[in-house]
Amino acid sequence: MAIHNEDIARIFDELADLLEIDEANPFRVRAYRNAARTVRALGRDLGEMVAGGEDLTRLPAIGKDLAAKIEEILQTGTCKALEKLHGHLPPSLESLLALPGLGPKRVKTLYRELGIRDPEALEKAAREGRLESLPGFGPKTRQRILEAIAAQRTTERRFLLSVARQYAEPLVTWLRASSAVAAVEIAGSYRRGKETVGDLDILVTTGKPDAVMRRFSTYEEVEDVLSRGSTRATVILRCGLQVDLRVVDTSCLGAALQYFTGSKAHNIQVRRLAQQRRLKINEYGVFRGERRIAGDTEPSVYRAVGLPWIPPELREGRGEIEAAQAGRLPHLIGLGDLQGDLHVHTRASDGHDTLEAMALAARAAGLKYIAITEHSRRLAVAKGLDEERLEQHLKAIDALNSRLRGITLLKGIEVDILEDGRLDLPDRVLAHLDLVVGAVHSHFGLSRRKQTRRILRAMDHPYFTILAHPGGRLLLEREACDVDMEQIIKGAAERGCFLEINAQPQRLDLDAVFSRMCRDAGVLLAINSDSHSREQYANLRYGIEQARRGWLEKDDVLNTRNLKEVRILIEKTMG
């Protein structure tokens, strides 16, 4: 049975949730939450690392006990600690924690006092008026609970793109290994590189559809087969991800790929162009009357309606058709265009690898320079640096630069933007750095006006260089701050500073719409890994995908330039 990083992270999350309900030591709860965060952001497959004999204890937040649990989960699919908790706490309690406003204390009260262990029982108790006998569960709370349960039923479950990839790639590899399969393609929002994915759409060409359907439905990670016909099947994987497979003829693979890639808005516009030419376009091809004139390849579909091929990341109905007609489609950035990474952490703050290990890993990843940007003193939970520790750290960077070849380390800081817009370290300290990355790590709930003014004031500091993860969002966990991003982008253009596309899969922040807005305003973006361990440079691929969705070309990105050019541009912001 294949075990993926996300499977391990979910088990650690469940352990943390159940332990918190069980009123276990808070440090123990936090250890599991931190471990889950590390596993999700890793960028490498833990199973492969264990098979290769790598030491997991050098990963952030992973000590000997947690490393042993990871190996246990890889071998058995679970761990004894979780099974022990299941012995006296129902695992279904976690579904209650997913409801807004129900923390561990309230869930424990519901379970201990009323025997409620899942949303169905909670809804029944709320409708029967039994909740109001409990402290803290008044009429308003009862109504909020009923609304949250109703919303949960109608909200589509989504997966981070990085998580969906953990399940998609092995499945595609499994299908391709069959002699009955000629070609396999993943379509849908996954192919468009969206930050989150609701399901997977897979297209297969084959001369033996029955064999393909049988292989697909018996894949080891399939938990439930919802439907299975001669050319289409739908399954649910163990992780909860729905996968739709369609068998298509080779002669219409291009049309099917275009059609099922979407988006809906993009396809409607393409169909209108076809109608203007008295053509019909669908997943089987492009037709003039009854005769198919295109559809074996995607480019043939677009040519038939007078367009060049349009990259999947642009297919959102946001002007790509008009740009294609005018010959103005962007030459999208690629991973190989990056020369550096301007947001990197080491064990000096909350990273887990040494300065040298991070430098060597960056060089192995093909980078020419990295900026070491530890947290500043305000973020105590991340072991942020005060003036004295920062001074020592800068000396260590200088010493390493003097003996390393093929990679240069820039001296930076990820400085907290305080509530009033001040920076966490004084200008006299920031003046000694090569660049300053400013970030919001607190007071996310400020009003739109205050949050916007806060960030603009921070950008007014003479040494401010890059605004990190500008929206402050955590995908599927925390919405972006209520901030006027148009004003922030305008402010960056006026001040000559930069914004970041943070490549951490849980962030992918700035989003595609605002990234394109930066491009149009002439504000350069830095695609940064925000690496906290050497494996996380691999996440740069997600930053590149996000940049492509924002129409970015190589010249729109700060760190596609060589070190000399980057220094010149940064010095202009700090002058």
The pLDDT assigned to 443 comes to 94
Q: Which residue, among 380, 338, 402, 293, has the nearest Cα to 557 in the 3D structure?
A: 338
pLDDT of 324 above 90: yes
pLDDT mean over 86-90: 83
The pLDDT assigned to 49 comes to 93
pLDDT mean over 46-56: 93
pLDDT of 268 above 70: yes
The pLDDT assigned to 575 comes to 61
Stated as kind and residue range, the H or E segment containing 408 is strand 408-416
pLDDT mean over 166-191: 96
Confidence of residue 239 (pLDDT cuts 50, 70, 90): very high
The CATH 3.30.210.10 domain(s) of the chain lie at 252-325
* Sheet strands (E) in 238-363: 242-247, 280-282, 285-288, 291-294, 340-344
In percent, the amount of the chain with pLDDT more than 90 equals 78
pLDDT of 156 above 80: no
pLDDT digits (tens, 9 = 90+) for 185-204: 999 999 999 999 999 999 99
pLDDT digits (tens, 9 = 90+) for 431-481: 999 999 999 999 999 999 999 999 999 999 999 999 999 999 999 888 899
Residues linked to residue 498 through DSSP beta bridges, in sequence order: 466
Question: pTM above the 0.75 mark?
Answer: yes
The CATH 3.30.460.10 domain(s) of the chain lie at 159-247
CATH class of 252-325: alpha beta
As a CATH number, domain 335-573 is: 3.20.20.140
Confidence of residue 572 (pLDDT cuts 50, 70, 90): confident
Q: Which residue, among 424, 466, 500, has the nearest Cα to 570 in the 3D structure?
A: 466
**Superfamily of 159-247 according to CATH:** Beta Polymerase, domain 2 (3.30.460.10)
| Separation of CA 394 from chain center | 31
Greatest mean pLDDT among 1-10, 79-88, 137-146, 531-540: 531-540
pLDDT of 381 above 80: no
Q: Tell me which DSSP letter residue 312 carries.
A: G
Averaged confidence pLDDT in the chain = 93
Residue partners of 338: CB distance under 8 A and separation at least 6: 366, 367, 527, 540, 544, 557, 559, 560
The CATH 3.20.20.140 domain(s) of the chain lie at 335-573
Looking at domain 5-154, its CATH architecture is Orthogonal Bundle (1.10)
Q: Is 441 helix (H, G, I), strand (E, B) or coil?
A: coil
The pLDDT assigned to 439 comes to 96
Tell me how far apart the alpha carbons of residues 39 and 60 are, in angstroms, rounded to a whole number.
9
pLDDT of 540 above 90: yes
pLDDT digits (tens, 9 = 90+) for 113-136: 888 988 889 999 889 888 888 887
Quote the tokens at residue 522: 């002439």
The CATH 1.10.150.110 domain(s) of the chain lie at 5-154
